[in-house]
Structure 1
């Protein structure tokens, strides 16, 4: 192979690597930006539970989940195994289907019995992000 072809080949490989790296960085930025608000809402929910503020946490549940757990049922559920700390891993996912915004946020939640991974299903309801499904 001639020296010119080697230069062209290595240049093409370099451009390909830069494009792939830039695309990956762009994807990271987009996912991080779109999950920032739902992650903050999930954090507010967990912080309220960790502080013993179950009514505040209950108010951060979406309507469907509130219908599944009344306030007293939710408080009893939390009291059986209250969280004491949490840590969010990178990422999550975001979706907007016909104007319905949802997200899934991964966290590691610490309980008296140990740590557990949980995926918080979030729904934008009334302009605010709410926790839906299994609260934790």
Structure 2
């Protein structure tokens, strides 16, 4: 009887461990894609490519900002010289916390909100 109980306990613990591993991998995969989208957006801003950055905005945000309005707004912001990811979370929507380093050399914290649109992560809300 104790052997049967022991086998059941081992199987349950093993199943929970394997399930937890695959859950972790699924979440990490989802957040990695969101992180990549946010990094692409910021890299485009660093490269002064507002057109490419605009293409990474979600449809709601593009509806609030024309390409020209977005480009003019970016031009008024301090130039980003570097960035650092400080955290990512989410599955169907995500937030990416970044430290942005403008010309001044100080680090400004910014939270990018992302949503999935047509299978791709897009920056939504207040872009920068």
With the length of structure 1 as denominator, give the TM-score of the two structures: 0.70
Q: 1:30 to 1:126 in 2, by over 3 A?
A: closer
Unaligned runs of 5+ in 2: 1-16
Report if aligned partners of 1:31, 1:92 keep a CA contact under 8 Å in 2: no
How far, CA to CA, are the matches of 1:29 and 1:115 in structure 2? 31
Tell me the equivalent position of 2:40.
44
> Alignment partner of 2:40: what SS?
helix
Matched residue of 2:107: which SS?
strand
2:78 matched to 1:84?
no
- 1:13-47 Cα offsets, whole Å, 9 max, x none, are xxxxxxxxx8xx95875543331000000000011
* Cα 1:55/1:85, change in 2 over 3 Å: same
Partner secondary structure for residue 60 of structure 1: coil
Alignment: residue pair count: 109
1:9-48 counterparts in 2 under 5 A? Answer: 31-48=27-44
Mapped partners of 2:49, 2:31: distance in 1? 25
SS at structure 2 position matched to 1:92: strand
Which residue of 97, 102, 121 maps to 1:129?
121
Q: What are the superposed Cα offsets for residues 46-93 of structure 1, whole Å, 9 maximum, x if unpaired? A: 11110011000000000001111111111111111232211101x321
Considering only aligned residues, what root-mean-square deviation do their CA atoms show, in Å? 2.2
Of 79, 82, 89, the residue aligned with 1:93 is 89
TM-score (norm 2): 0.75
**Structure 1 residue ranges without an equivalent (≥5):** 1-21, 96-100
